Chain A
Amino acid sequence: MDFGPYLFVASLEGAITAAVLALTAVGLSIVFGIMRVVNVAHGEFFMLGAVIAWWITSLIAGHPALGFTVALVAAPIIVGVIAVVCNRLVLHKIDYEPERTIVATIGLLYVIQQTTLMTFGPEARPVEAPFNQRIALPWFEFGESGFALTWPWGLSTTTYKLAVIVAAIVILLILWLVMTRTKIGLIMRATQLDQEMAQAHGIAVGRVYALVFGLGAALAALGAVLVVPIQQAHYLMGGDPLLLSFIVVIIGGLGSVLGTVVAAILIGMSDGIISVFFTPTLAKILATLLVAFVLIFKPDGLFGKRRE
């Protein structure tokens, strides 16, 4: 394949990474923005989403689309409920104190991951996509006869991959509507602005926190369900989404949802393209260093404005 078409495929793959990453990272971002805690177990909620999706689809016989649709609805709800329970049993008890919360969520990370290892096992397991037609993609060339469309061999994608991108956009739009147009969204934003004021105005902050923590985990799970037909479910799959979400949330400006989405698109797209030029390990080294240096020298994110 020529370089041009190759880059085109890489950016399509990047768009999928970006779409899933945006969902996962927005989950982490609203938890940080509203509750002011860093959830290190966030990647495990992602992993749980994929594993539960595998479990549900393996239970339901018939057309793969049936099982997948059930999983798409049920897995995020189940993961959300698990997160709410974790919130109630652990985070709530330590009063969301920032440093202890990190330590406790590291504990949760191991508990969730290792419990999955004991029950689900160490294998990677595939989930069948609900639909999966191959689509050949056109490329343009300036040949002797001028401008021409060609269909280079290997330049293709699938309907499912395109659907993932569309689904992520729709979900993010719905989330945006909920946050800006509904009472629940208003309550969440009020809590984010000033927790004590919210409390004084009769908002049950404890319940908002439970809801937010559950929602954050459910978004990660949703991203995982969407990606699992492409990627397979595995008990260690939470590590990369966690790292990438961290990068995105920090670069986008801690707690800023819009910044997070923009950064997710940037990082997701460049992840696909960078891996054309660098080995994945080098790309990850650069990414982790980027997070560290942004936190050190530009703590409000690359797009954030300085607050005093």
Chain B
Amino acid sequence: MSQATRSVLLHSFVIALLVVMFFVLPEYHSGNLARILVLAVFAMGYNVLFGYTGLLSLGHALFFASGMYGLGLSIQFMQASPMLAMIIGLITAVVVSCVIGFLALRTTGVAFMIVTLMFAQAGFLTVLFFGKYTRGDEGFVIQRAQRSMFGFDLSQPFPRYFAALVLFSICLFLIAWLVHSRFGKTLVAIRENEQRARMLGYDVQRHKLVAVIISGTMSGAAGAAYALLFGYAGASFAAVQYSILPLLYVLLGGAGTTIGPLIGTVFMFYLIDISSEYTEAYMLIAGLVLILLTLFAPHGIAGLVRKKLVWLP
């Protein structure tokens, strides 16, 4: 079987499994799974940059929030239809990632991490600063009436789950295709040895910029979808914690693998969900997992599996 066929089979299987899950799982868990799918899209976007290009951003909350507020504010203040609002959310994310990419990519390594962190922090503070419109930390609710698309009421469990799944599937196949494309292979080359990639004649800087834009836009799509499907936009989604979470999902699931982000998101979501039943200090778990991963499993769960199955995309 060729690499490409295997990849299509594997990803189709994952999606089929997710379809079945909706009907098998109790409502509480299928509701969670809808959230997980959207967050996994966020993680997949993060993975394009971190896992495939080797650039560690600490500011992806900015892209997530760009999509979220692009959509949320245009519904709130322009009475935009969900479709139009979605497009505005995506455009916002594209613009923000172009600007951030253009600026931040002048730095590398640790400086890149700090610069992205600072830009995201500035974005978070900007959301607070315009509290009159964004309602700051408190956030605002998007009414049910404004959340139906193609006649589906996205506040209902069934349409909501499948809308999340459609977005997830599109992104999953997009990434699976990307990984096998010339472009994706060049990103991996840059991750592995930037200097060598440049001396092979690749325009490293341009590739990185496109990677930031793809990554930022996918993260923005997740943010927009999150606001639309769950009817809420708030400043906490722009805060540092939402820059750390995708890193955590990807590290846990396995950086540079197509399904690693989903695996990581499922595990981390439930770890936090379960621990928050016992203590309000649930981010303790996130901290411990981060430390343990850097210490013992830098390649994550999918990385461990890949040691057995080398063909895993």
Contact = CB atoms under 8 A, between A and B. Distances in A.
A107 B129 contact: no
Interface of B: 56, 58, 103-104, 106-107, 109-111, 113-115, 118-119, 121-122, 125-126, 128-129, 244, 247, 251, 279-284, 286-291, 293-295, 298
Contacts of B118: 246, 288-289, 291-292, 295
A107 B281 contact: no
A98 B109 CA distance: 8
A295 B103 CA distance: 10
A263 to B, nearest CB: 15
A282 B129 contact: yes
Contact of A107 (B109, B126, B290): B290
Interface string A97-131: 01110111011111111110110001000000000
B125 A107 contact: no
A96 B119 CA distance: 26
Contacts of B295: 90, 93-94, 104
Contacts, number: 117
A246 B283 contact: no
Max count, chain A CB within 10 A of own CB: residue among B247, B289, B294, B298 = B294
Contacts of B107: 295-296, 299
A90 B122 CA distance: 30
A106 B244 CA distance: 8
A110 B294 contact: no
A48 B125 CA distance: 25
B56 A99 contact: yes
B62 to A, nearest CB: 11
Contact of A102 (B110, B280, B281): B110
A38 B117 CA distance: 13
Max count, chain A CB within 10 A of own CB: residue among B103, B106, B287 = B287
B111 A107 contact: no
Contact of B280 (A112, A117, A279, A289): A117
Given A288-B122, A289-B122, A295-B115, A106 B290 contact: yes
B129 A103 contact: no
Contacts of B111: 295, 299
Contacts of B119: 288-289, 292
A297 B107 CA distance: 9
Contacts of A90: 291, 294-295
Nearest to A116: B281
